[in-house]
Amino acid sequence: MTATPTTLDLDELEQHRRELTGYCYRMLGSGFEADDAVQETMVRAWKAFDSFEGRSSVRSWLYRIATNVCLDLLRGRERRARPMELGPARPPEEKYLAATLPEHAWVSPIADTRVLPEDADPAEIAAARETIRLAFVTALQHLPPKQRAVLILCEVLRWHANEVAELLDTTTTAVNSALQRARATLADVHAGESTAAVDVDPARRDLLARYVDAFERYDISTLVTLLHDDAVQSMPPYAMWLRGAEHIGQWMLGPGAGCRGSKLIPTVANGCPAFGQYRVDPEGGHKPWALQVLEISGDRIVEFHAFLDTDLFAAFGLPTHLPE
């Protein structure tokens, strides 16, 4: 008869859920898919727990399962991307919106609380934030799946090459070779070109407060002054994106004017300040519209990404409706 894992054993599996979610998110580029992959990992582990021989740690065993789940999901599919990779910036005209892209085509955000360590020191948390930034996760998608796993395990999670070789059933030499190729690819796609801050110091808190005030009053002339001259705005699932504070301002006063009267609820996504944006609900109050993720450099906002996917609100623990 197959033995059933004890409650303690199941708790031991569950205590790794957060870090596994971070690993699967970096592999897959989607918070929703990461959740599914971790759940499948836990199911496979639960079913196979009686055959676990203890030759490696439970953690290493779970990472092996999670890697296989992710590789299965990635087999034969095109990589996820951000709008900036799909074509040139467009003028701020509604005709360029065109059709939406399916969810599996674009990198989606994830809440910091779902993937970052809870009890680590500040330096470790800051480093972890950098590895879930949208630009970095997007760059990872350029790597073949096994190279992606090698780079995340070695560079992000700091596993030794021989440990990764054991997990992937390959040699240390092969791991080191894959790591070298992965690093070269990331250098080519400029993974580290964004310089957004991970810690929100008093000056940046003031910038964010002024941003919220300007957005909620829909004072676009003031809001534009908070943007870098070459700031970028994207609106997944649309492929269209804008470059330049002037164009962003024109968009918000033109096709985007339906955002007038919105309310913003703060959160954190991908190591950056974020907001749940709620538009006016004709039936009263405000309803979910977009999850905004801001990237800041110095004293200006350099990237403004509005994810028009209201399913993200539940994933971020945001209200489903705001009263009057």
Tokens at 2, concatenated = 């197959």
Question: Rounded distance, CA 63 to CA 67, Å?
Answer: 6
- Give pLDDT < 70 ranges for the chain: 1-9, 51-56, 190-201
Residue 20: name the closest of 5, 34, 7 by CA: 34
Tokens at 139, concatenated = 């760059």
Structural domain boundaries of the chain? 81-142+192-324
Residue 54 pLDDT: 60
Sheet holding 227-234, edge to edge: 241-243, 227-234, 300-307, 286-297, 272-280, 263-269
pTM: 0.91
Residue 197 pLDDT: 45
Angle at 29 between CA 31 and CA 240, to 5 degrees: 105
Residue 14 pLDDT: 84
Residue 268: name the closest of 102, 104, 125 by CA: 125
Give alpha helix (H) positions in the chain. 7-14, 17-28, 31-48, 58-74, 122-130, 134-140, 145-151, 161-168, 172-188, 202-217, 220-225, 245-253, 311-315
Residue 113 pLDDT: 93
CATH class, range 81-142+192-324: alpha beta
Longest pairwise C-alpha distance within the chain = 71
Question: Rounded distance, CA 309 to CA 324, Å?
Answer: 23
Residue 191 pLDDT: 52
Which long-range contacts does 313-317 make (Cβ < 8 Å, 24+ apart)? 313/276, 313/288, 315/31, 315/32, 315/35, 315/110, 315/111, 315/114, 316/111, 316/267, 316/269, 316/274, 316/276, 316/291, 317/111, 317/113, 317/267
Give alpha helix (H) positions in 189-321. 202-217, 220-225, 245-253, 311-315
